Homo-oligomer: A and B are copies of this chain.
Amino acid sequence: MTRIGFIGLGIMGGPMAANLVAAGYEVTGYNRSQPKIDKLIAEGGKGARTVAEAVRDADVVVTVLPDSPDVEQVVLGSDGVLANIASGALLVDFSTIRPDTTRAVDEAAAEKGVRTLDAPVSGGEQGAIDAALSIMVGGTAEAFEAGRPVLDSVGKTIVHVGPAGAGQTVKAANQLVVAGNIGLVAEAMSFLEAQGVDTEAGLRVLGGGLAGSKVLDAKGPKMADREFKPGFRLELHHKDMGIVQAAAREVGVATPLGAVATQLVAAAVAQGDGSLDHSGLFRQIARLSGRE
């Protein structure tokens, strides 16, 4: 039986660990707060008191953490993952972090004889619960094949997009397009409302043409109804836009629309909307026009 050490049992990690238990893996979980560990034990997993204990006997170590510094600390820190993991093990990081951090982790892991996959996910809490996540995977072809059964137990659309860091890079591109498109739909909705147009009919005919998108279908009606319960929180998208901007600068790529989207998301968070769904960016667009 494959033994999995699982670090990070939060909104996403918790249900993912439960799905791995359900798939027959021996999962030993660690989290900073004990109740999340107790929940995993109740679901059939095991609990660890430290990262070291979770990692020591694992064939596969999984991390699901909020941000780049968390991954650096948990994986690279003293008595962290790499200080305790067995040579030959596989490290799968589902966190959304900076591609350069991912590559630094991969290099440090290689020195220990540990293979890595960066595997950021899309699909939100419901996708994690349903094991229906989209997963953008970076790493060697051999590591991808080795990790495939684990990925299949938590996701549905699983694409190997390139070497270490490539998963994070594609996730960054995803967040760029999503934030920008939410902003564009918000601008279009504000414009249609100000013009007195029936937005339900407007969304219907826009969705039937080249303006059609998943953002328009999923977020347009939320904007019309001013219903911004998360979903994916603006403050997390704010974090991700920082990753996008840093990663684009790293390779000298200008993203004029991404830069404006980044500022709009930052302004929304600064004005207190960080805990709303990212479709709540509509409020920032509306505020700019004195309409909220």
Show the binding face of A for B, using Cβ within 8 Å: 99, 122-123, 134-136, 157, 159-162, 165-166, 169-170, 172-174, 176-178, 180-181, 183-185, 187-188, 190-192, 194-198, 201-202, 204-206, 208-216, 218, 247-248, 251-258, 260-261, 263-264, 285, 288-291
Are the CB atoms of A254 and B288 closer together than 8 Å? yes
The reply to whether B174 and A206 form a contact with Cβ atoms under 8 Å apart is yes
A-B contact pairs, 23 of them (CB 8 A): A122-B209, A159-B201, A161-B198, A161-B202, A170-B201, A170-B205, A174-B211, A177-B216, A180-B257, A181-B184, A181-B213, A187-B248, A187-B256, A187-B257, A187-B258, A194-B251, A213-B215, A213-B216, A253-B289, A254-B288, A256-B263, A257-B261, A257-B264
Q: Please, which residues of chain B bring their CB within 8 A of the CB of A191? A: 169, 172-173, 176, 247-248, 251, 253, 255
The interface residues of chain B lying within 8 Å CB-to-CB of A162 are: 196-198, 201
CA distance A188 to B180 in the complex (A): 11
Residue of B nearest to A195 (CB): B169
Task: Return chain B residues, CB-CB under 8 Å to A216.
Answer: 177, 213
12 further contact pairs, Cβ within 8 A, besides A136-B205, A177-B185: A162-B201, A170-B201, A176-B188, A180-B180, A181-B181, A187-B248, A187-B258, A210-B218, A212-B213, A213-B214, A256-B260, A257-B264
Smallest CB-CB A-B distances: 3 pairs: A213-B213, A194-B251, A159-B205
Measured in the bound complex, the distance between the Cα atoms of B209 and A134 in whole Å is 7
User: Which residues from chain B contact A257 at a C-beta distance below 8 Å?
Assistant: 180, 183-184, 187, 257, 260-261, 264
Q: Cα distance A178–B24 when bound, in Å?
A: 46
Q: Which of B166, B180, B201, B212 contacts A184 (CB 8 A)?
A: B180
| A284–chain B nearest beta-carbon distance, Å | 10
B-side contacts of A122, CB under 8 Å: 209-210
Number of copies of this protein chain within its complex: 2
CB-defined contacts of A208 to chain B, threshold 8 Å: 134, 157, 159
Q: How far is the CA of A70 from the CA of B174 in the complex (A)?
A: 41
Whole-angstrom distance between the alpha carbons of A258 and B216 in the complex? Answer: 16
Task: Across the interface, name the chain B residue whose C-beta is closest to A215.
Answer: B210
A170:B197 contact, CB within 8 angstroms: yes
What is the CA–CA distance of A155 and B218 in the complex, to the nearest angstrom?
26
Closest beta carbon of chain B to A252's beta carbon, Å:
6
Q: Please, how many angstroms separate the alpha-carbon atoms of A258 and B256 in the complex?
A: 11
Contact, CB under 8 Å: A211 / B214: yes
A160 to B194, CA, bound (A): 18
Q: Are B176 and A184 in contact (CB under 8 A)?
A: yes
Which of B166, B183, B256 has a CB less than 8 Å from the CB of A288? B256
Name, among A157, A166, A253, A260, the residue most crowded by chain B CB atoms within 10 Å (CB to CB): A253
